[in-house]
Amino acid sequence: MTFKAAAIQMCSGVDPQRNADTMARLVRDAAAQGAVYVQTPEMTGALQKDRVGLRAILRDESADLIVARAGELARELGIHVHVGSTAIARPDGKIANRGFLFSPTGERLSSYDKIHMFDVDLDNGENWRESSAYEPGSQARVVELPFATLGFAICYDVRFPQLFRAEAMAGAEVLTVPAAFTRQTGEAHWEVLLRARAIENGAFVIAAAQAGIHEDGRETFGHSMIIDPWGKVLASAAGTGEAVVLAEIDVSAVKAARGKIPNLKNAREFTLEQSAGKAGGVAA
């Protein structure tokens, strides 16, 4: 089974309407080039550091502009549209960093809340406390589509290989990592982490990214890419600017890679023993 996939690179600002229009234009471009699965980046709807400003544009998913537009696009174009994520108001007053997958009929097939929160102090003085605004998810997701089985993740999740291993063991052939990686961490780790997740799980990785300098002042790394199960980068974008990254996905390559390196099959349970070192030594 083969299908054409697209990763959409954006530079989302603070206005959801403008971002929705950009998303629609790029998704249509991808579909016109034959993509039947199109993924957008993390925080497609808005990148907004100011919490007051963010809450002013928040909606629950039934009223969210990006969610509605993505469903319409999927139905209009007859493709699967995966909103990498957008900020969603939860009933408890908290915020979810939530991704959505829509079928070619416009039906919402699944959603995924980012599990791991990016709470970090960087060397350049930047500090991020994602948990101060967002409620982490607790449920991994795997969805079987007509052409492949997808596993879900968002951005910082890429640093937690146990999530991807669990999804691969559950049958995921394509691992998805929409992101808004900072420029500093992206330069150091983005590609190597994505390729590692592909190699260690014998799976394709599709990663749509935010790219460039945003209205709220942050800078994201870009370099959206699609990687095969052997760790080869099939297609990638630059570090700035909008882009549509396309690749033909041959799902049989997953079985081939896992046959050559059967680490999923060879995995074993084990226990961990921790011992204290003994002081002392041989007298001179």
According to the model, what pLDDT value does residue 51 have? 82
Instruction: Look at residue 52 and tell me whether its pLDDT is greater than 90.
Output: no
Using pLDDT thresholds of 50, 70 and 90, give the confidence band for residue 178.
very high
Q: Dump pLDDT digits (tens) for 127-163.
A: 767 877 899 999 999 999 999 999 999 999 999 999 9
The 3-state DSSP class for residue 264 equals helix
Mean predicted confidence (pLDDT) in 72-88: 98
Q: Average pLDDT over the chain, rounded to whole?
A: 94
Mean predicted confidence (pLDDT) in 196-206: 98
Using pLDDT thresholds of 50, 70 and 90, give the confidence band for residue 284.
very low
According to the model, what pLDDT value does residue 123 have? 73
Catalytic residue IDs: 42, 114, 155
Q: What is the pTM of this model?
A: 0.94
Mean predicted confidence (pLDDT) in 106-122: 91
According to the model, what pLDDT value does residue 32 have? 98
Question: Which runs of E-coded beta strand occur in the chain?
Answer: 2-9, 37-39, 80-89, 95-102, 108-113, 119-121, 127-129, 142-144, 149-151, 174-176, 204-207, 211-213, 219-221, 225-227, 233-236, 243-250
Least confident of 50-54, 254-258, 263-267: 50-54
Instruction: Look at residue 77 and tell me whether its pLDDT is greater than 80.
Output: yes
Mean predicted confidence (pLDDT) in 208-222: 94
Mean predicted confidence (pLDDT) in 100-111: 98
Q: Classify each residue of 76-96 as buried b or exposed e, where b means 16 or more C-beta atoms within 10 Å of its C-beta.
A: ebebbbbbbbbbbbeeeeebb
Q: May I ask the CATH class of domain 2-266?
A: alpha beta
Mean predicted confidence (pLDDT) in 175-192: 96
| Residue that wins the pLDDT comparison between 94 and 36 | 36
Mean predicted confidence (pLDDT) in 29-37: 98
According to the model, what pLDDT value does residue 279 have? 59
Question: Which runs of E-coded beta strand occur in 141-268?
Answer: 142-144, 149-151, 174-176, 204-207, 211-213, 219-221, 225-227, 233-236, 243-250
Both structure tokens of 128: 């991020």
According to the model, what pLDDT value does residue 223 have? 98
Instruction: Look at residue 283 and tell me whether its pLDDT is greater than 60.
Output: no
